[in-house]
Amino acid sequence: MNITIRPLQMSDIRLMTELLNEIIEIGGTTAYLNPLPEAELASWVARGTERASWTIAEDDTGKLVGFQWAEPHALLPPEAASIATFVRVGVVGRGIGKRLFAETSKHMKRFGFEWINASIRSDNDSGLRYYAKMGFKDWKVDPDAMLSDGRITGKHHKRYDL
């Protein structure tokens, strides 16, 4: 499978929403528990600052197979960005996340960030493995972190120094 990495276009929002909602609907270990309307994801993109990066992964047929974004976050210091990564069910483990991160980390360096934070549910084994493979290290673990439905899953906050 050939993968192309490119910047987000507003026409990608519908496919990004479908990909994310598929993960949510199968009970994936994302922090999002309820399907998102397309307008909500579009509002996240629209709120973006000049220091936000939205990157798309497509296969050789043009099908969206993953996306990643990183941006400033109110709970982090100004030198840190927060990152999120989503890869289509069934194509995980094919280097898509690695290729997305290579592009995103270049953007974050160019934007002047010193480090990137990934906050991952403690029960998200694949997410924890992915960020560890990218070189992220735990800097804070919250064993009592709770989801919006009241379940306690814990959360690992991982740091990647640029």
Residue-wise pLDDT for 136-147, tens only, equals: 999 999 999 988
Q: Among 56, 69, 54, which residue's Cα sits nearest to residue 118?
A: 69
Query: Which residue range forms the structural domain that includes residue 103?
Result: 4-161
Residue-wise pLDDT for 15-54, tens only, equals: 999 999 998 888 766 777 788 899 999 998 988 778 999 9
List for the chain the helix, strand, coil content (%; round to 5). Answer: 30, 30, 40
Number of domains present in the structure of the chain: 1
Asked if residue 131 has pLDDT above 90, the reply is yes
The token duo for 138 is 């735990």
**CATH number of the domain within which 110 lies:** 3.40.630.30
